[in-house]
Amino acid sequence: MSASPSQRLKELGIRLPPPPKPAGTYSSVVVDGATAWVSGQIVLQEGAILHPGLVDRDLSPDLAKEVARRAALQALGALAAELGTLDRVQRVVRVAVYVASVPTFTRHHEVGNGATELLVSIFGDAGRPARVSMGVSALPLNAPVEVEMLVALTEA
């Protein structure tokens, strides 16, 4: 029998960040039946955007990949706060990774791997989602990466 997501987090030495407070008129997580939508997450550290700017100008793709990983962790923190546990996650269905980058940047998929590699390490194959990684001209507060998720849940 495989380890639960809570056990995997402990094994990996990962501590989820506290859930973010919405900065607008929306919910961080919406649960409807057996589905949860996690709103786009940008990474703040001490109230400021972590590594602001455009990928391939202000920060490297490798650093952006780490920011995507942290944004996914933040999304999981919001989900855990809403559900009470990540052990109700049956499958990560879809992940969208938005990458604010210079127009000539074409390695968005590598940045997106930061989010999905983390999910696979926690949930195994159930963490391997359908995914889109796309370039955008800007994100809120000059964030370099934003991650959102769609998750299938087991019964409470």
Domain presence at residue 28:
no
Domain presence at residue 30:
no
pLDDT confidence of residue 42: 96
Nearest to 34 by CA among 77, 95, 74, 89: 89
pLDDT confidence of residue 46: 87
* The two three-digit tokens of residue 27, written as one number: 């919910």
Residue 155: which pLDDT band, with cuts at 50, 70 and 90?
A: confident
Domain presence at residue 148:
yes
Predicted TM-score (pTM) of the model is 0.96
* Share of residues in the chain with pLDDT > 90 (%): 90
Each residue of 75-85: pLDDT tens digit? 999 999 999 99
Burial 69-104 (b: 16+ CB within 10 A, else e): bbbbbbbbbbbbebbeebebbebbeebbbbbbbeee
CA distances to 29, 36, 91, 124 from 78, in Å:
7, 11, 16, 20
Each residue of 38-73: pLDDT tens digit? 999 999 988 899 999 999 999 999 999 999 999 999
Is the pLDDT assigned to residue 1 strictly greater than 60?
Answer: no
| CATH code for the domain of 110 | 3.30.1330.40
Each residue of 103-148: pLDDT tens digit? 999 999 999 999 999 999 999 999 999 999 999 999 999 999 999 9
pLDDT confidence of residue 13: 97
- Cα–Cα distance, 9 to 123 (Å, whole number): 9
Domain presence at residue 93:
yes
Domain presence at residue 61:
yes
Domain presence at residue 26:
no
- ∠147-50-68 over CA atoms, to 5°? 30
Domain presence at residue 98:
yes
pLDDT confidence of residue 29: 97
Domain presence at residue 91:
yes
Tally of domains in the chain: 1
> Which residue type, as a one-letter code, is found at position 100?
A
Residue 100: which pLDDT band, with cuts at 50, 70 and 90?
A: very high
Domain enclosing residue 120, as ranges: 5-18+35-153
Nearest to 86 by CA among 15, 1, 27: 15
3-state secondary structure of 107: coil
